[in-house]
């Protein structure tokens, strides 16, 4: 299922899932975790799950205040990691232990408000001090090319329904068009216009599914001037024409909540 991933940690406990971001594919399995550092449109597919052994995972949205405070105290690794905004890694024993401790607090409601933030801090510390440390520091950094790409992602997120040029976007974030294109693709595995298209299609799908908007109206609301072009791109992205896809989701409501 397509979804917009927020800056977060996803830790898989059971089953397996594949996530496609642009032209890259990441596989989650037990004991592996994924880190997302920007709002990124991706497609998730649970590939291993049964009624007796369902897919189970934990999501932890990053607290920007807590993360920023910890990042100021934990040195960034000397060897920077690639700037890609999503990565899947094997969990260290320390990270696994911190995650399990947080989960066990669900059985102790009285202790959760006191000890929960401490467990969350340790999880963030393990991420900052581990192999994804440089990538985690990118979230709190306001300087450099990666920070500029973060601002470009945020700008598109606010303006994806409107037409814009690469030159306009480059001006907004203070980069040259060629540099923006190169670094944007390195972080998101997509061009800015591909990124915009995915946001438009996912927003249109939500409008039709949640607000019962018809195909033509949804296309216009997200910025398409041609309903036929919208339908072609929708089918290419989701695998079915809009009306058929929405009918399938309504017939199987569980499909619409996979993240």
Per-residue pLDDT at 82: 62
Residues 35 and 88 grouped into a single domain = yes
pTM here is 0.77
Which residues constitute the domain of residue 123? 2-139
User: How many domains are contained in the chain?
Assistant: 3
For helices 192-210 and 166-173, give the axis angle rounded to 10 degrees.
100
Are 63 and 8 in contact by the 8 Å Cβ rule? The answer is: no
Exposure pattern of 148-175 as b/e (b: 16+ CB <10 Å)?
bbbebbebbeebbeeebebeebbebbeb
Tell me the pLDDT of the chain (259 aa) as tens digits. 778 888 899 999 999 999 988 888 999 999 999 988 888 888 888 999 999 999 999 999 988 889 889 988 988 776 666 667 788 889 999 999 999 999 999 999 999 999 999 999 999 999 998 888 888 887 777 666 777 888 999 999 999 999 999 999 999 999 999 999 998 988 888 999 999 999 999 999 999 988 999 999 999 999 999 999 999 999 998 889 999 999 988 887 565 544 3
**pLDDT value at position 257?**
47
Is 57 exposed, middle or buried, given 0-12, 13-18 or 19+ CB atoms closer than 10 A?
Answer: middle
In terms of DSSP bridges, do strands 16-21 and 2-5 run parallel, antiparallel, or are they unpaired?
unpaired
Tell me, yes or no, whether 11 and 131 share the same domain. yes
- Please tell me whether residues 173 and 204 are part of one structural domain: no
* 157 and 234 part of one domain: no
Q: Contact 214/207 with Cβ under 8 angstroms? A: no
Question: 89 and 173: one domain?
Answer: no
Contact 127, 8 (CB under 8 A): no
Q: Are residues 119 and 227 in the same domain?
A: no
User: Residue 209 is part of a domain; what is its CATH number?
Assistant: 1.10.10.60
Residues 133 and 8 in one domain: yes
Q: What is the layout of strands, in order, in the sheet containing 32-36?
A: 56-61, 8-14, 32-36, 86-90
CATH number, domain of 132, equals: 2.60.120
Residues 175 and 204 in one domain: no
User: Residue 147's closest CA among 238, 37, 73?
Assistant: 37
Regarding whether 180 and 64 lie in a shared domain, the answer is no
Residue (of 123, 118, 127, 172) closest to 150 by Cα position:
172
**Cα distances (angstroms) measured from residue 79 to each of 82, 132, 148, 173, 202:** 10, 11, 20, 26, 36
| β-strand partners of 208 | none
Residue 176 neighbours by CB distance under 10 Å: 12
Domain-terminating residue out of 105, 139, 173: 139
SS3 state of residue 19? strand
Are residues 78 and 162 both part of a single domain?
no
Same domain, 7 and 124: yes
User: Same structural domain for residues 15 and 55?
Assistant: yes
DSSP class of 153: H
The 3-state DSSP class for residue 14 equals strand
């Amino acid at each position: 299922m397509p979804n917009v991933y927020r800056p977060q940690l996803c830790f898989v406990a059971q089953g397996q899932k594949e996530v496609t971001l642009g032209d890259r594919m990441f596989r989650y399995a037990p004991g592996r975790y994924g880190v997302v550092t920007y709002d990124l449109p991706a497609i998730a597919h649970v590939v291993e799950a049964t009624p007796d052994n369902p897919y189970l995972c934990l999501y932890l949205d990053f607290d920007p205040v807590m993360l920023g405070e910890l990042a100021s105290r934990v040195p960034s690794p000397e060897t920077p990691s690639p700037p890609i905004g999503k990565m899947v890694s094997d969990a260290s024993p320390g990270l696994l232990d911190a995650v399990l401790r947080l989960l066990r607090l669900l059985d102790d409601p009285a202790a959760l408000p006191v000890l929960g933030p401490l467990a969350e801090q340790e999880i963030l510390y393990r991420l900052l001090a581990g192999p994804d440390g440089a990538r985690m520091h990118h979230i709190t950094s306001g300087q450099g090319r990666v920070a500029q790409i973060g601002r470009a992602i945020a700008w598109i997120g606010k303006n994806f329904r409107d037409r814009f040029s690469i030159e306009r976007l480059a001006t907004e974030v203070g980069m040259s068009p060629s540099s923006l294109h190169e670094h944007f693709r390195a972080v998101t595995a997509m061009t800015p216009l591909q990124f915009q298209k995915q946001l438009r299609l996912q927003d249109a799908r939500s409008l039709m599914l949640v607000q019962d908007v018809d195909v033509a109206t949804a296309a216009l609301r997200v910025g398409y001037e041609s309903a036929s072009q919208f339908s072609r791109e929708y089918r290419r992205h989701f695998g079915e024409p809009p009306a058929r896809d929405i009918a399938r989701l309504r017939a199987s409501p569980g499909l619409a909540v996979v993240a």
